[in-house]
Chains A and B, each alone.
Chain A
Amino acid sequence: MNYLKRLMLFSIFLPAFIAGGVCWYGVQVSQPDFWNDPTIFYGVRAVRWAFLLLGVFPVLLGVWMLLGAAWRGPVLAAAAVFAVLLLVIIIAPQRDYILPEKRMIHFGVNSVMPSGTDIYCNGILLGQSPLKISVGELAAKVPVCTAPPEQRWYNAKQRLFTVFPWDIFTAERYKQWQELASANEEAVAEKAAKFDTESRYWWRFEHGKNQFCVKAKRQTSYSTFENALSYSIDMDSGWVFSPSVPFYARLLIDIAGELGEKDNAAGDNVIGDNVIGEKADWDKHVLKHWTLLGDALWRAAAYRRKAQRMTDADDDFRNIRALPGETLWDSVARLKYNLSEPPTQEESRRLLKIWVESGSFGTASSLGASGVLYHTPHSEEVLIQAAAQQMKDVIGEPLSEQWAEHLNGSGYYQWNSGWAALLYVSEKLSQEDVIKGKNFDGLVRLVAASALGEKTLLRSSDERVIPLFKTLLRSPSAAVFLGSMNGDPSGYVQTIQQYRTIDNPVLESTYRQFIFAALSDPKLRDNSREWLQKTVYEIILERLRLGYGMRQTSDRKSALKEYAAWISSLPLTSERQKALLQYLRYSEQMQVQPLTLANLMQRAAGLDYTMETEKTAEYVNGWFAEHPQGTLTEFFKEHEGGFVLLPRYGRDSRRASSISAYQCLVYALLKIDTPETRKTIRRIWENDQPVVWTMMRKILRLDQQNVVEEITVEIPDFYFDLFSTMDTEGCLHLMYGFTMSASPKAGELLKKWTQSESQKVRESASDCLEQWQTAQQVREKKKELYHDIVTEKIGSDDMLLPQPVWRWNGKEYEASGAL
């Protein structure tokens, strides 16, 4: 009898005995990193504890039960163990579960410190990043430093070191640091220097020829629950030990803009006779010294790009337009990765494979709004992105709907992640494998079972998708709809947002009917209705912008008419309705492209801004051609509340009449430099000068910053003709900015103003003319220097000026040698 009882009891508890082990095994097999987790409890790795508690212990309980224990015994034992665990984990959080010598120090690979960086501690090479070393191993390998070492670069005020003091991975020093950090700011500044110099371990990081300069950051954590210390080391650009590197980089960026232009629409600002060489030479030189210069180059490019006339609405430094029609890095990327122009399918796939397999990029979930690359330094990111941009037309496969969704992001404009989606076209996502190859019925079954592939299903053209979609629209949880019964529109908002990216002509009318019904729901309270209206307005605007609901129609005009009729029927405020109708009118001119990777990449890179800006300019040109005496003010009045130019400035109808809309429109005209837009600008200039020249001044960045940073400003000669008609006050505001213009017309205009009747203007113009002439000379010198560098008359090492060495004198660091 007893054995029967025991067996039966054993079978009842069998799920408990084996479930833990099966789960643990499943997780371990599918997530191999789990095995590498070094968390330690009482000297035993957490993974082993999990194995014991979830795998071995339940099985032992089962065996115990089989051998004769009454069921109370094993159950009580299990309960006791878990209760103790609970007490230990929850109630005693301060205990240190990690043996001090077992604590791991992990130098990862990140956007600043690339893979393969040499890591030195107290002068001893520990290895290359990524690197993991325990405190015990470090202590065994590296002798303690008794005095602060020599620094190749040091800034006391900013606590910048090239050999960085860091030893707070020991409890004792960490405690001291905590006491220091808890003091007030002044006391911290005073004691920090002393604390740093008492460090027993000094770290140095070098990559290629470059030594990183490390800036101490205040935040750190010495958690008792973490297996490793997490310490944020704020790395500076890495080239600080030679401050001439930024100058070197700036020189190269400035010259890049003068190497000859392509696709210049204006036709009258081509620079030169090309004496300083071809872009190909520039590319070769830059790539050869990329390790030294890469980071500084992209920073310099980012900075200078802001000063250029053709700045995009999106300050994306990656798309510097040194040469109109081509980004700065395109040719460098082609050279580096051996790509054709445009790249072939094979080249693209080869590259994608290399990037993905190198583990350079985060997982899908990590590519959120920021599109951060976790393992690539900025300089590499620039070239990879440039190459990816060129590949986008090649890898033109239709995206999985999940990735189309991802590109649009959880918000409305998540452009940064778009280019990375390119990589995932080639990467096999498990969800992709599951959805792939399924017909409509199969997809429906998949969605019913798992909710996976819903978006793919809703893009089907099978007529059966309509009743299914209607069912899905009704199917949010009862709680949500119960809410809506009480006047809470959350359910509507959630559903409308969830399906806003469905672009299927078969389902469009159903979706619109749902929106109409939601807005017309009499149960909604006033403030809830306002919220719903606002959300719906923004969603419709986004859909209009992306062309959803009109993309796949053959009769575009009818589709737009229908859309307009629907918008007019919606119970929205008149302001919002007008804005939407205006945008619809504006989008009549837009060429909506199919939802493929290519054009989504374009959107993601901001290149569609170019397209929209062209259309904007065309539209505005057309209006001003019809209204020769028109002013900007009249233009906006006619388009009251409704002129949506660029997404950044048009989403909120109230903004349309604000200064940002003016700016936006003038920017569009300035950017698209065609004879028609010049006519428009001249008209606006003559009729509405005060508005325009303020905007132009801002957009052309004719301000002091350019002078301070020695940034050459490109101003087409056309504008100098307009500027020459300005009155006294206008001159004074602009002439300072001319000093950084390379155009001879700037000098001519400044010379002209030195003859002005106004004394103020004469004096200012004289000073500015002198500065302009100096700037021209500097520019010529830079060209000569560049020529010498690229022809290797001057080596790159010669560009790096020697720096003083900082030595510890027992009390503080002092510089010795040339400054």
Chain B
Amino acid sequence: MNKVICKLAFRESGIFAVPVIILLIGLVLFQQEPLRYANVPAAVLGMLLGILLAWRTFSDYGNVRAFLFSRSFSPKRFFFVRWLFGLGTIIVTGIVLAAIIAFGLRQFVQQVFFASGWYPMIRFEELHVLTPYILASLFSYHSTLYFMLVNRFRPPVRRRGFFLCLRWVETLLLILLAAVLICSLGFAGIILAFSSPSPPYFLFVEYFLYIIFGIPILLQLFLAPCLGIYCYRNQEIES
């Protein structure tokens, strides 16, 4: 049964997630500049992966929902497996990226195709690129998951059409505001770090990122399954 759930999840999200994963692999293989902890493309792609996984895996539309909840397995398992599927995809992708770097495939490609002079000295140093990927992907995965779950419980719009649009606009605007708020405060430290010659902030900005985003991620790893299981149980009851 777990296999079926995973297969279903993959069918829903694969078509979106796989290209992003390919892009990530391509970034790691072919970026000529050394991979650093402050790698924006890695962070953006990681964020995209997290959002797509959460959105596609957990957005069960009408007929799909009816099918799913008619099955005899528990909603707890249903949610849990899908959640682990998303998490697993992110982690496995991270492992693949790490393997590409650590086992020298990136080095091989860079030296053969680009005659890069950085290797082999920075081969393992480049593993730091996993920092933005992991933090961005896990954080965005759980954040999107939350909104997917919460959306289920909002009262249905009484009047459709205009008011539904209004709700979407309102939601989007507020999400945008929240994103701006988070980004501007969260990255202020990085901006300060890069602009200040002394002390050398770059030495510990990475740890700063781990604190700022790592603590929420740890919380989310605990809270997300609890919330999801609860939502799914109540979903069934309501439906």
Tell which of B10-18, B60-68, B114-122, B156-164 binds the partner: B114-122
Judge whether A195 is part of the interface by a CB distance below 8 angstroms: no
Q: Is the CB of B189 within 8 A of A9?
A: no
Tell which of B48-56, B100-108, B178-186 binds the partner: B178-186
Instruction: Bits for B120-147, please: 1 = Cβ < 8 Å to A, else 0.
Output: 0110011010000000000100110010
Say yes or no: A19-B216 contact (C-beta < 8 A), given A444-B122, A471-B115, A471-B117.
Answer: no
Partner of A15, one of B32, B185, B224: B185
Q: Is the CB of B122 within 8 A of A71?
A: no
With a cutoff of 8 Å between Cβ atoms, the chain A residues found around residue B128 in the complex are 449
A467 to B187, CA, bound (A): 35
Q: Is the CB of A23 within 8 A of B234?
A: no
With a cutoff of 8 Å between Cβ atoms, the chain B residues found around residue A705 in the complex are none
Q: Is the CB of B223 within 8 A of A8?
A: yes
Q: Is the CB of A75 within 8 A of B181?
A: yes
With a cutoff of 8 Å between Cβ atoms, the chain B residues found around residue A475 in the complex are 32-33
A20 to B128, CA, bound (A): 24
Interface residues in A436-472 (C-beta closer than 8 Å to B): 440-441, 444-445, 448-450, 452, 464-472
A467 to B149, CA, bound (A): 53
Tell which of A88-96, A170-178, A234-242, A427-435 binds the partner: A427-435
CB distance from B88 to the nearest CB of A (A): 21
Judge whether B198 is part of the interface by a CB distance below 8 angstroms: yes
Instruction: Bits for B186-198, please: 1 = Cβ < 8 Å to A, else 0.
Output: 1111001000111
CB distance from B49 to the nearest CB of A (A): 17
Partner of A75, one of B150, B174, B231: B174
Instruction: Bits for A70-101, please: 1 = Cβ < 8 Å to B, else 0.
Output: 01100110110010000000000000000000
What is the size, in residues, of chain B's interface with A at 8 Å between Cβ atoms? Answer: 54
CB distance from A462 to the nearest CB of B (A): 10
With a cutoff of 8 Å between Cβ atoms, the chain B residues found around residue A365 in the complex are 197
Tell which of B21-29, B74-82, B91-99, B205-213 binds the partner: B205-213
A470 to B111, CA, bound (A): 12
Instruction: Bits for A1-45, please: 1 = Cβ < 8 Å to B, else 0.
Output: 100110111111111101110110011001000000000000000
A14 to B211, CA, bound (A): 10
Instruction: Name the residue of chain A whose CB is nearest to the CB of B208.
Output: A22
Judge whether B230 is part of the interface by a CB distance below 8 angstroms: yes
Q: Is the CB of B117 within 8 A of A466?
A: yes
CB distance from A479 to the nearest CB of B (A): 13
Q: Is the CB of B199 within 8 A of A22?
A: no
Q: Is the CB of B198 within 8 A of A54?
A: no
Q: Is the CB of A14 within 8 A of B189?
A: no
CB distance from A632 to the nearest CB of B (A): 50
Partner of B212, one of A22, A72, A75, A82: A22
With a cutoff of 8 Å between Cβ atoms, the chain B residues found around residue A440 in the complex are 121
Judge whether B172 is part of the interface by a CB distance below 8 angstroms: no
Instruction: Name the residue of chain B whose CB is nearest to the CB of A61.
Output: B181
Partner of A470, one of B32, B117, B203, B220: B117
Q: Is the CB of A54 within 8 A of B219?
A: no
CB distance from B225 to the nearest CB of A (A): 10
With a cutoff of 8 Å between Cβ atoms, the chain B residues found around residue A371 in the complex are none
Q: Is the CB of A78 within 8 A of B198?
A: no
With a cutoff of 8 Å between Cβ atoms, the chain B residues found around residue A474 in the complex are 32
Chief secondary structure at chain B's binding surface: helix
Judge whether A114 is part of the interface by a CB distance below 8 angstroms: no
Say yes or no: A471-B178 contact (C-beta < 8 A), given A12-B146, A449-B36, A452-B202.
Answer: no
Say yes or no: A22-B178 contact (C-beta < 8 A), given A430-B198, A450-B202.
Answer: no
Q: Is the CB of A23 within 8 A of B37?
A: no
CB distance from A440 to the nearest CB of B (A): 8
Interface residues on chain A, size class: 35 or more
With a cutoff of 8 Å between Cβ atoms, the chain A residues found around residue B6 in the complex are none
A135 to B50, CA, bound (A): 57
Q: Is the CB of A18 within 8 A of B177?
A: no
With a cutoff of 8 Å between Cβ atoms, the chain A residues found around residue B150 in the complex are 5
With a cutoff of 8 Å between Cβ atoms, the chain A residues found around residue B139 in the complex are 15
With a cutoff of 8 Å between Cβ atoms, the chain A residues found around residue B37 in the complex are 449
With a cutoff of 8 Å between Cβ atoms, the chain B residues found around residue A165 in the complex are none
Instruction: Name the residue of chain A whose CB is nearest to the CB of B33.
Output: A475
Q: Is the CB of B118 within 8 A of A448?
A: yes
Q: Is the CB of A18 within 8 A of B212?
A: yes
With a cutoff of 8 Å between Cβ atoms, the chain B residues found around residue A30 in the complex are 196, 199, 201
Say yes or no: A452-B200 contact (C-beta < 8 A), given A1-B234, A5-B227, A12-B146.
Answer: yes
Judge whether B84 is part of the interface by a CB distance below 8 angstroms: no
A19 to B178, CA, bound (A): 14
Q: Is the CB of A8 within 8 A of B220?
A: yes
Judge whether A58 is part of the interface by a CB distance below 8 angstroms: yes
CB distance from A134 to the nearest CB of B (A): 30
A416 to B215, CA, bound (A): 51
With a cutoff of 8 Å between Cβ atoms, the chain B residues found around residue A19 in the complex are 182, 185-189, 212
Partner of B181, one of A26, A78, A364, A467: A78
Partner of B198, one of A9, A79, A429: A429
CB distance from A175 to the nearest CB of B (A): 38
Partner of B223, one of A7, A467, A469: A7
With a cutoff of 8 Å between Cβ atoms, the chain A residues found around residue B211 in the complex are 18, 22
CB distance from A366 to the nearest CB of B (A): 12
A441 to B174, CA, bound (A): 48
CB distance from B94 to the nearest CB of A (A): 20
With a cutoff of 8 Å between Cβ atoms, the chain B residues found around residue A8 in the complex are 142, 146, 220, 223-224, 227
Q: Is the CB of A12 within 8 A of B216?
A: yes
CB distance from B214 to the nearest CB of A (A): 10
Instruction: Name the residue of chain A whose CB is nearest to the CB of B145.
Output: A8
A450 to B199, CA, bound (A): 13
Say yes or no: A79-B177 contact (C-beta < 8 A), given A7-B219, A30-B199.
Answer: yes
With a cutoff of 8 Å between Cβ atoms, the chain A residues found around residue B33 in the complex are 475
Q: Is the CB of A430 within 8 A of B117?
A: no
Q: Is the CB of B185 within 8 A of A23?
A: yes
A729 to B183, CA, bound (A): 81
CB distance from B58 to the nearest CB of A (A): 14
Say yes or no: A467-B34 contact (C-beta < 8 A), given A23-B185, A431-B200.
Answer: no
A72 to B174, CA, bound (A): 7
Judge whether B8 is part of the interface by a CB distance below 8 angstroms: no
Q: Is the CB of B216 within 8 A of A14?
A: yes
With a cutoff of 8 Å between Cβ atoms, the chain A residues found around residue B36 in the complex are 448-450
**Most chain B beta-carbon contacts within 10 A, residue among A8, A22, A26, A468:** A8
Partner of A4, one of B181, B212, B223: B223
With a cutoff of 8 Å between Cβ atoms, the chain A residues found around residue B201 in the complex are 26, 30
Say yes or no: A16-B182 contact (C-beta < 8 A), given A22-B212, A445-B121.
Answer: yes
Say yes or no: A15-B182 contact (C-beta < 8 A), given A9-B146, A23-B188, A445-B122.
Answer: yes
With a cutoff of 8 Å between Cβ atoms, the chain A residues found around residue B198 in the complex are 429-431
Judge whether B226 is part of the interface by a CB distance below 8 angstroms: yes
Q: Is the CB of B181 within 8 A of A16?
A: yes
With a cutoff of 8 Å between Cβ atoms, the chain A residues found around residue B126 in the complex are 448
Q: Is the CB of B117 within 8 A of A468?
A: yes
CB distance from B87 to the nearest CB of A (A): 16
**Most chain A beta-carbon contacts within 10 A, residue among B146, B213, B226, B231:** B146
Partner of B185, one of A4, A54, A434: A54
A residues apposed to B, CB below 8 Å: 1, 4-5, 7-16, 18-20, 22-23, 26-27, 30, 54, 58, 71-72, 75-76, 78-79, 82, 364-365, 429-431, 434, 440-441, 444-445, 448-450, 452, 464-472, 474-475
**Those 10 A-B pairs whose CB atoms lie nearest each other, nearest first:** A467-B117, A468-B117, A448-B34, A444-B121, A11-B219, A471-B117, A23-B189, A14-B216, A19-B185, A19-B186
B residues apposed to A, CB below 8 Å: 32-34, 36-37, 114-118, 121-122, 125-126, 128, 139, 142-143, 146, 150, 174, 177-178, 181-182, 185-189, 192, 196-203, 208, 211-213, 215-216, 219-220, 223-224, 226-227, 230-231, 234
19 contacts between A and B (CB under 8 A): A1-B230, A5-B227, A7-B219, A7-B223, A12-B220, A14-B219, A15-B185, A15-B216, A19-B212, A22-B189, A75-B181, A430-B197, A431-B197, A444-B118, A448-B122, A449-B34, A452-B200, A471-B116, A472-B117
